[in-house]
Amino acid sequence: MSRAAPPVHMLAVNFFSAADLGICIDSAVQAGVASVTIVSNGDSEKGHAALTKHLASLKIPTRLYRAGKNLGFGAAANRAFALADPPDRDFVWLLNPDVVVAPDSLQRLVTATLDKGASLASPMIEHGMGSSRRPWFAGGFVDVRRGATVHLTAIEAGGTSGRPPNSRTPFITGAAPLVRSSAWRELGGFREDLFLYWEDAELSMRAHAIGMGITTVNGSTVWHRVGGSHAGRGRSPLYYHYMQRNRLRVCSSRPRDLIGLLCGPGLQETVRYLWRPIRHEPEERVVKFFASFGGLMRGILDVCRSRHEAR
């Protein structure tokens, strides 16, 4: 990292992912992060001991907070930020445990973010292995009418050589967002009542609404093992429950929005999350279907209740 660049502090949320997280931390340290703060929502004793030992071996400041229960992603990320307590001029880099950072990615990410005057930024995120490695996120947007987040690939984002240009975007995924500490404080961090999924979309929507610059950086690359914690088992029942529930909660600011998500432009997405467990999951198909259906019902009730309380 350039001496003129503000320090960057890595944050991460651990949930039974100590092995992946160790690799992620090492790659981030090599890239130049100034400190590492981890909040653990759950792990085995062996995993916790391994992570504690790993952090103790690093030559930069580290913090590990064991929550004792699953706080949810947003609450744990907010706790990590509070523990790190970085100065307003610094950046925080929130990394998924199954992310691996390229050695020069952080310097490129910070430089481009400073040049563009952005408050939030994302590297280009790739997934796949070997010749099948390809862009997974190169910018995107939240389609509130459908209740869906849309990821752009390099070509869709306007790239001509396999990489998109650095560009403003209204949405960045939560896999590897870089955020100015002052912006995190102004936004109040993630919305904690969502518990899991859609926190990145909701944060991006609030940041975009108040005019904060959000950008993607083409020269900065990280690799993301998408759904890595569920490898071989497909998505979890919690995934289907909270994806259904939270898309309704985040995208329904008015009663007619909820109607549109259920009967209008969002109907296809609603049905997709109901049908996908039966069609594509390798195991627990019925359990995952009912988790999705339960999330849908809970989302409807939550939106209706919040509208009633707002009157």
> CATH number of the domain that 192 lies in?
3.90.550.10
- Print pLDDT tens along the chain (311 aa): 555 789 999 999 999 999 999 999 999 999 999 999 999 999 999 999 999 999 999 999 999 999 999 999 999 999 999 999 999 999 999 999 999 999 999 999 999 999 999 999 999 999 988 777 888 999 999 999 999 999 987 545 555 444 556 789 999 999 999 999 999 999 999 999 999 999 999 999 999 999 999 999 988 999 998 755 555 578 999 999 999 999 999 999 888 899 999 999 999 999 999 999 999 999 999 999 999 999 999 999 999 998 767 66
Examine the domain organization and report whether 43 and 59 are in the same domain.
yes
Residue 232: per-residue pLDDT: 58
Residue 156: per-residue pLDDT: 54
Is 150 domain-assigned? yes
In the listed set 192, 213, 229, which residue is the last one of a domain according to the structure? 229
Residue 309: per-residue pLDDT: 73
Examine the domain organization and report whether 212 and 247 are in the same domain.
no
Examine the domain organization and report whether 223 and 247 are in the same domain.
no
In the listed set 186, 208, 229, which residue is the last one of a domain according to the structure? 229
Examine the domain organization and report whether 115 and 78 are in the same domain.
yes
Q: What amino acid occupies position 72?
A: G
Examine the domain organization and report whether 99 and 12 are in the same domain.
yes
Examine the domain organization and report whether 14 and 139 are in the same domain.
yes
Residue 165: per-residue pLDDT: 60
* Rounded-to-integer distance, Cα 14 and Cα 21, Å: 7
In the listed set 174, 204, 229, which residue is the last one of a domain according to the structure? 229
Examine the domain organization and report whether 123 and 248 are in the same domain.
no
Examine the domain organization and report whether 157 and 188 are in the same domain.
yes
Examine the domain organization and report whether 192 and 289 are in the same domain.
no
Examine the domain organization and report whether 92 and 106 are in the same domain.
yes
Is 1 domain-assigned? no
- DSSP assignment, residue 87? -
Residue 21: per-residue pLDDT: 98
The 3-class secondary structure across 185-225, one letter per residue, is HHHCCCCHHHCCCCHHHHHHHHHHHCCCCEEEEEEEEEEEC
For residues 99 and 21, is the Cβ–Cβ distance under 8 A?
no
This prediction's pTM: 0.93
Residue 227: per-residue pLDDT: 58
Is 122 domain-assigned? yes
Total domains present in the chain: 2
Pure H helices in 144-197: 181-187
Is 2 domain-assigned? no
Q: What amino acid occupies position 275?
A: W
Segment 258-276, tens digit of pLDDT = 999 999 999 999 999 999 9
For residues 23 and 100, is the Cβ–Cβ distance under 8 A?
yes
123 torsion bin: left (phi>0), alpha (psi -120 to 50), beta (else): beta
Is 3 domain-assigned? no
Residue 9 contacts by C-beta under 8 Å, 6 or more apart in sequence?
33, 34, 35, 36, 37, 84, 86, 90, 91, 92, 93
Assigned token pair, 2? 């350039």
Segment 165-178, tens digit of pLDDT = 678 999 999 999 99
Examine the domain organization and report whether 144 and 66 are in the same domain.
yes
Examine the domain organization and report whether 214 and 250 are in the same domain.
no
The residue segments making up the domain with residue 20 are 8-229
Distances (CA, A) of 235 to 32, 54, 239, 292, 310: 33, 29, 6, 11, 35
Is 15 domain-assigned? yes
Sequence-distant contacts of 153-156: CB under 8 A, at least 24 apart: 154/124, 154/218
88-125 burial, b at 16+ Cβ within 10 Å, e below that, comes to: eebbbbbbbbbbbbbeebbbbbbbbbbebebbbbbbbb
